[in-house]
A and B are shown apart, each in its own frame.
Chain A
């Protein structure tokens, strides 16, 4: 499918925003301004954006511990996200969730999830709501290659097939679960092949290529919207950083780390759209500037925001605490 100019610009804008967000979060973390554990998504942008560009706020996604990219692709406010990661008032979860638990239900973002395999069953539940209410929307689970081995994920896939739900299982295969390689940890030839074994259509796409992800997602989402049931997409990609910020990545060779840089999906997107004359470098440069400003403003706002009041500790345990 030929994408029009505004769509191409929007795709690049979201990918660029994710990258800038991650680069800046890393710098802030290294300066000791961000508490807790942070897992960066940089390098996998084409996956989140290639899928989420098809979705509206009425569609749902469920995410992982590596959730910043999914949040941004789904339209979450970067300032609210940054405040959350800093542990400040005004964060999307009021400073109670942090990087691994960012959620924005108004945007259909059901939450980053720090339990591997936690989100696929929840996404199946969201899809059940949609089907039960007769709504023409879909629910997408983002799961890693590591999470693809979890029993909860298997059970969720089977249930989605049995109930014929509008659920899409996106497996971001970045080669590692923490420090363990996918070839070692996944017994099947491919994650898509295994998903197909549950009785749904499943494909593998090159996650460096935004257009490939976009097309595969379009097909799966259209099928789910029109009553065709669940499907799975395995997106092969590379994370540019370690499992978490501070990970020395000793389990990856130097050569591999060099290749990761070379396979940058943002650079590949830029090269492709400019060489094909679909966008001018100046168009993309303008997006770069806009995103840099947005992220700088988000960091300023997060730094200026107060920490949560201490009595917040006891709020929101129950609806009427």
Chain B
């Protein structure tokens, strides 16, 4: 199977869905780029080149560069979705959601419920999360718990290229608003990705490694990090079961509970803030529904409760490190852990 980058996989998903269904449109700031300039037409393809080439195939009526007006972009996409199109709207960095919150969570997320189940809002909002580029506090957040908190939104967080393609096609074919969160540190990672379209259902976790000693649940860019730790611990005879839920809403509770029932130990690795975050959510799930199986306190590996710093050394200290993840796993096994 051909190896492709996460970026390419997302581009292919958009391309194949636009080819399959003429109601699928892509809109956002510089999703093509070059509109109204004196030079090239498809100059950007999104700031990180994810949508490159689509405007050449589908034209500017289906690949729409917008002004910098996120409220209008998200609202227009939601309005178009509820009237017959299937928009994929790009919110360039997830941090910009502040200026368009209302349209996403008071409007799009609630149409179906508020209107007695009659409305359909087949909207996908693609956005970029995460730290690691020294982009500082206004361009580096992992805000998935905020979306997960809102009933009516489906939230998808692919951790690799294969999942990115299958989950995005699924998202575009879904009749509900889906928040599709791409991690900026993953765009150049590669995996085997089929050329043909395929879908991955929402709410089905992936067992990245299987093991009976400790369950590790990780999200997005923390999955490859946790995988590296699992591989390392395997050499010491510690068998980690690494679970990537892939979607936080719906969440594959069963996979997590079933695994913890076997291992009796749980470590959660996530890049969102610790308070009211993903790790707290999974910990509460297991504490309330799987407490009897726990042999050790649940460990949560997250950033500290601070905004994301700019200086590279501080940013590195902010993100959960492989050392911290390994130490958390060892701690749940009752091993003495050297002080940090």
Interface positions of A (Cβ within 8 A of B) = 35-37, 87-88, 93, 95-98, 100-101, 113-118, 146-147, 149-152, 176-186, 248-253, 255-256, 307-308, 310, 312-314, 317
Q: Is B312 an interface residue (CB 8 A)?
A: yes
A249 is contacted by which of B39, B66, B314 (Cβ under 8 Å)?
Answer: B39
Q: Which of A88, A93, A251 has the most CB of B within 10 A?
A: A251
A114 is contacted by which of B33, B136, B314 (Cβ under 8 Å)?
Answer: B136
Assess A178 versus B33: contact at CB under 8 Å? Given A95-B309, A256-B38, A317-B307.
yes
Q: Are B67 and A186 in contact (CB under 8 A)?
A: yes
Q: Is B209 an interface residue (CB 8 A)?
A: no
23 contacts between A and B (CB under 8 A): A36-B134, A36-B136, A87-B311, A96-B309, A98-B136, A98-B311, A101-B136, A115-B138, A150-B70, A151-B99, A152-B99, A177-B29, A178-B29, A179-B37, A180-B30, A180-B36, A181-B37, A185-B36, A249-B43, A251-B34, A308-B314, A312-B314, A313-B317
Q: Are A87 and B134 in contact (CB under 8 A)?
A: yes
Task: List the B side residues contacting A186 at CB < 8 Å.
Answer: 67
Task: List the B side residues contacting A253 at CB < 8 Å.
Answer: 37-39
**Residue of A at shortest CB range from B310?**
A98
Q: Are B33 and A251 in contact (CB under 8 A)?
A: yes
Assess A180 versus B29: contact at CB under 8 Å? Given A307-B311, A313-B317.
yes
Q: Are A35 and B134 in contact (CB under 8 A)?
A: yes
Q: How many residues of B contact A (CB 8 A)?
A: 44
**Residue of B at shortest CB range from A100?**
B136
Q: Are A149 and B68 in contact (CB under 8 A)?
A: yes
**Residue of A at shortest CB range from B69?**
A149
**Residue of B at shortest CB range from A101?**
B136
Assess A87 versus B310: contact at CB under 8 Å? Given A37-B135, A151-B99.
yes
**Residue of B at shortest CB range from A249?**
B39
A36–B309 Cα distance when bound, in Å, is: 11
Q: Are A250 and B43 in contact (CB under 8 A)?
A: yes
Q: Is B133 an interface residue (CB 8 A)?
A: yes
How near does chain A come to B222, taking the closest CB pair, in angstroms?
Answer: 18
How near does chain A come to B307, taking the closest CB pair, in angstroms?
Answer: 7
Q: Are A252 and B138 in contact (CB under 8 A)?
A: no
Q: Are B314 and A313 in contact (CB under 8 A)?
A: yes
Q: Are B37 and A251 in contact (CB under 8 A)?
A: yes
How near does chain A come to B157, taking the closest CB pair, in angstroms?
Answer: 23
Q: Are A310 and B136 in contact (CB under 8 A)?
A: no
Task: List the A side residues contacting B30 at CB < 8 Å.
Answer: 178-180
Q: Are B134 and A180 in contact (CB under 8 A)?
A: no
How near does chain A come to B143, taking the closest CB pair, in angstroms?
Answer: 14
Assess A149 versus B313: contact at CB under 8 Å? Given A35-B134, A114-B138, A313-B304.
no
Mask for B53-84, Cβ within 8 A of A = 1, else 0?
00000000000011111111000000000000
A185–B66 Cα distance when bound, in Å, is: 7
Main secondary structure of the interface of B (DSSP, over half): loop
Task: List the A side residues contacting B95 at CB < 8 Å.
Answer: 115
Mask for B245-259, Cβ within 8 A of A = 1, else 0?
000000000000000
Q: Are B310 and A35 in contact (CB under 8 A)?
A: yes
Q: Are A178 and B138 in contact (CB under 8 A)?
A: no
Number of residue pairs across A and B with beta carbons under 8 Å?
165
Task: List the B side residues contacting A308 at CB < 8 Å.
Answer: 309, 311, 313-314
Task: List the B side residues contacting A115 at CB < 8 Å.
Answer: 95-96, 98-99, 138
Q: Are B136 and A179 in contact (CB under 8 A)?
A: no
B67 is contacted by which of A35, A97, A113, A177 (Cβ under 8 Å)?
Answer: A177
Q: Are A256 and B310 in contact (CB under 8 A)?
A: no
How near does chain A come to B102, taking the closest CB pair, in angstroms?
Answer: 10
Q: Are B139 and A37 in contact (CB under 8 A)?
A: yes
Q: Is B288 an interface residue (CB 8 A)?
A: no
Q: Are B38 and A252 in contact (CB under 8 A)?
A: yes
Q: Are B135 and A313 in contact (CB under 8 A)?
A: no
How near does chain A come to B95, taking the closest CB pair, in angstroms?
Answer: 7
Q: Is B44 an interface residue (CB 8 A)?
A: yes
A117–B98 Cα distance when bound, in Å, is: 11
How near does chain A come to B227, taking the closest CB pair, in angstroms?
Answer: 26
Task: List the B side residues contacting A87 at CB < 8 Å.
Answer: 134, 310-314
Q: Is B294 an interface residue (CB 8 A)?
A: no
**Residue of A at shortest CB range from B65?**
A180
A180–B73 Cα distance when bound, in Å, is: 15
Task: List the B side residues contacting A179 at CB < 8 Å.
Answer: 30, 33-34, 37, 43-44
Smallest CB-CB A-B distances: 7 pairs:
A184-B36, A181-B36, A98-B310, A179-B33, A87-B311, A35-B134, A251-B43
Task: List the A side residues contacting B137 at CB < 8 Å.
Answer: 96-97, 101
Q: Are A178 and B39 in contact (CB under 8 A)?
A: no
Q: Are A313 and B68 in contact (CB under 8 A)?
A: no
**Residue of B at shortest CB range from A84?**
B310
Q: Are B34 and A310 in contact (CB under 8 A)?
A: no
Q: Which of B34, B43, B67, B135 has the most CB of A within 10 A?
A: B67
How near does chain A come to B244, taking the closest CB pair, in angstroms?
Answer: 27
Task: List the B side residues contacting A100 at CB < 8 Å.
Answer: 135-136, 138-139
A115–B317 Cα distance when bound, in Å, is: 25
Q: Are B139 and A176 in contact (CB under 8 A)?
A: no
Q: Are B44 and A178 in contact (CB under 8 A)?
A: yes
A314–B306 Cα distance when bound, in Å, is: 6
A152–B71 Cα distance when bound, in Å, is: 10
Q: Are A95 and B67 in contact (CB under 8 A)?
A: no
**Residue of B at shortest CB range from A315?**
B306
Task: List the A side residues contacting B138 at CB < 8 Å.
Answer: 100-101, 113-115, 118
Q: Are A180 and B37 in contact (CB under 8 A)?
A: yes
B314 is contacted by which of A146, A152, A310 (Cβ under 8 Å)?
Answer: A310
A87–B135 Cα distance when bound, in Å, is: 11
A61–B70 Cα distance when bound, in Å, is: 24
A252 is contacted by which of B37, B66, B133, B305 (Cβ under 8 Å)?
Answer: B37
Task: List the B side residues contacting A93 at CB < 8 Å.
Answer: 310
Q: Is B47 an interface residue (CB 8 A)?
A: yes
Q: Are A117 and B99 in contact (CB under 8 A)?
A: yes
A149 is contacted by which of B67, B309, B317 (Cβ under 8 Å)?
Answer: B67
Task: List the B side residues contacting A152 at CB < 8 Å.
Answer: 99
A113–B139 Cα distance when bound, in Å, is: 11
